[in-house]
Structure 1
Amino acid sequence: MDHGDVVPIAELLDERRYLLDVAYWMLGSRSEAECVVDETYRRWYGLSDAGREQITAPRSWLAKTAGGICLGRLVLPDRGAGGRGGGRRTRAVDGEGPWAVVEGEVSRVLLEALDSVSPAERAAFVLNDVFGMTSGAVADIVGRTEAECAELAHRVRRGLRTQRSLPTTPERHDSLARAVRDACAAEDAALLASLLSPDATAFFDGGGKVRALAGPVHGSRRVAHSLLTLLADRPRTTLATHSVNGRTGLVVRYDRQVAAVISLDIADRHIAQVWVTLNPDKLHAWNHTPGSGGSGSGRSPAHRGDGWS
């Protein structure tokens, strides 16, 4: 190894932490995640020097390899069970060692919900929604087309919404959405956090087109902070209630351009999940509807609420 091959220790540790996070989300087990990462590095060093030199993005190669190993561990136990449910893992509850940090960041509720989906669905959702991998990388790992992986991830999102959301009246949903808008307008983090479930989760879908958070945010305070940070820079950033998927949601505009659409899932009278769409491709219809003139007026809503600026 010459000096050009030396990698800063901070980058090395961050890389391993990233791979451990990927494996833990995929498998839900600390010990198995450690084994997967060890195997990933064994495969890396099993390459010839020439082979390693041809890899221009080692971290991407390592992540793809780790994801493939995880998927193999999920699929193998399922062969006699129709391919569903065999990927269940028992999670340790101790907080010792380096995994204590991960345990504090990962929603146990979400991990348990993922135990009920198929290995391919879990892989597609985790790699796309949690780690923000490109659609091509996800497809390579899962062994499906990009369109099929997108559908797999969509099914998981839909299932998570069903599991976390309890029936609520449109009036109650509308009231909570407006309360969220008002708390954001006041930049009141405490008030916003009080509207969220203690284990609330926020997902940020940038689609690899904007520098959005790669993973979900957990906990009412952290979700509140992330939303207020996202909505900073008033008055150019404005927020209004708007019909989103048939329920009251929020539309964020920056200089009149729709920059984000936020949908809310409710459980036990609080916001359980926040879904923030930042992907410009998915916002195209909001900014280019008939009669909008490209001004960002968005889809025709069932109702139009007041915004703040």
Structure 2
Amino acid sequence: MGTVGTGVDGVDGERRQLINVAYRLLGSVTEAEDAVQDAYARWYGLSRARREEIVSPGAWLTTVTGRICLDLLGSARARRERYVGAWLPEPLPDRTEWNHAGAAGPGDPADQIVLDESVSMAFLVVLDSMTPAERVAFVLHDVFRYPFAEIAGVLDRTPAACKQLASSARRRVTAAPGPAPAPEAGRADVVRHVKEAWQTRDIAALVGLLDPAAVMTADGGGLVGAVLRPVEGGARIAQYMAAIADRAPGLELLERTVNGTPGLVALRDGAVATVAAFDVRDDVVTRIWVIRNPEKLRPWAPENPEN
């Protein structure tokens, strides 16, 4: 979609915050951008007199964006019933690691998203297990600190009901494994060792780097080859990775930040073909999320990676 021009009422300064909210609600850069564009279109569709009556345009835009995201989350559940294989959030690059001449530049929505723990793949996957209302209440309150009185306007429920939704969502987060306790450098070292073992087809080394109960989930969306069900167990994952390496000669692996944490990117003929995110605990990998659906790799291209 095109970019809304700078308005005389100065509301375009809210765009970065809205993109950050919408991505955490939807797990998709593309859908987040569309939701924010829709909210701005509704704002500029109001008469000037009506816009001047609104005390806080930012709050109005947040409410409208939240409602749009809520509707999208509801319809997404139906769409995912028809999705081929597992559905994973759209991965985010760290643009500082790429020489992306010719890419969209600082106006690219992916560049506006703050890479913190609330966009880690592990956290987004937990968010995706929530009901749409739980997710909206939790993200707006616990991540962005909006008061329940404002969230009530998004969900069309009482503040007390919104508080209960956020509490229920919080229990889901608590029940899931917490943020990886290893320091960033330690996680990067483990991912680097995985890369080296994968490149040399060293199954024994891979098994040693993977938790015995590790799980690998892949998302090809039915558009490219990907295992349709999660691969469970470190030994099975290692064997699967070695088999993939044998079947896909010529892939180039790069260590790159994925959603704010160390990950790997696989290039084929210079184009990003696969993005992998990792959860590392106690110096072993416990979860691997592999995104191969080309529609979800658009924020990573066009790129010219620097080794």
TM-score range, shorter chain: 0.3 to 0.5
In the superposition, the TM-score normalised over structure 1's length comes to 0.47
In the superposition, the TM-score normalised over structure 2's length comes to 0.47
> RCO (CA 8 Å, sep 6+): is it higher in 1 or 2?
2
